[in-house]
Amino acid sequence: MKKITAIVRPEKMEPLKEALFAANVKGMTISQVHGCGAQHGWTEYFRGNEVLLNMVPKVKFDIVADDGEVEGLIDVIVSCAQTGQVGDGKIFVFPVEEAIRIRTGERGTEAV
């Protein structure tokens, strides 16, 4: 099993959520986050002083999937979230050692 974390533009949340459900993702966790990277934020003025706002709002998707599903899900995320501009986001893939459904005690892929 793998955990896919995708950080995308806020306006891509609904289209990506629908695309993932269409790709038969059983569940996901979505969080509103702030971060910085190559986009570097923007400059505003506050009480006459220039302030660099480098924490840009993003949306984070966390998905746990079987190893064989990962590449297909990455393709779905990229095709849905890509604009070609700086700030489109990142995808990270992590190994998942174990998953346990609290309600039933199921383990492994049955718990996902």
Looking at residue 99, its pLDDT comes to 95
Looking at residue 37, its pLDDT comes to 78
Give the number of domains in the chain.
Answer: 1
Per-residue pLDDT tens digits of the chain, which is 112 residues long: 999 999 999 999 999 999 999 999 989 999 999 888 776 666 778 788 877 777 889 999 999 999 999 999 999 999 999 999 988 999 999 999 999 999 999 999 889 8
Q: What is the CATH number of the domain that holds 35?
A: 3.30.70.120
Looking at residue 60, its pLDDT comes to 98
pTM score: 0.85
Q: How many CB atoms lie within 10 A of CB 65?
A: 24
Whole domain around residue 62: which residue ranges?
A: 2-111
Looking at residue 52, its pLDDT comes to 72
Residues 6+ apart with CB under 8 A from 75: none
**DSSP sequence for 1-35:** -EEEEEEE-GGGHHHHHHHHHHTT----EEEEEEE
Question: Considering just the CA atoms, what is the radius of gyration of the chain in Å?
Answer: 17
Between the CA of residue 83 and those of 1, 53, 68, 86, what are the distances in Å?
29, 22, 27, 8
Looking at residue 40, its pLDDT comes to 67
Looking at residue 41, its pLDDT comes to 64
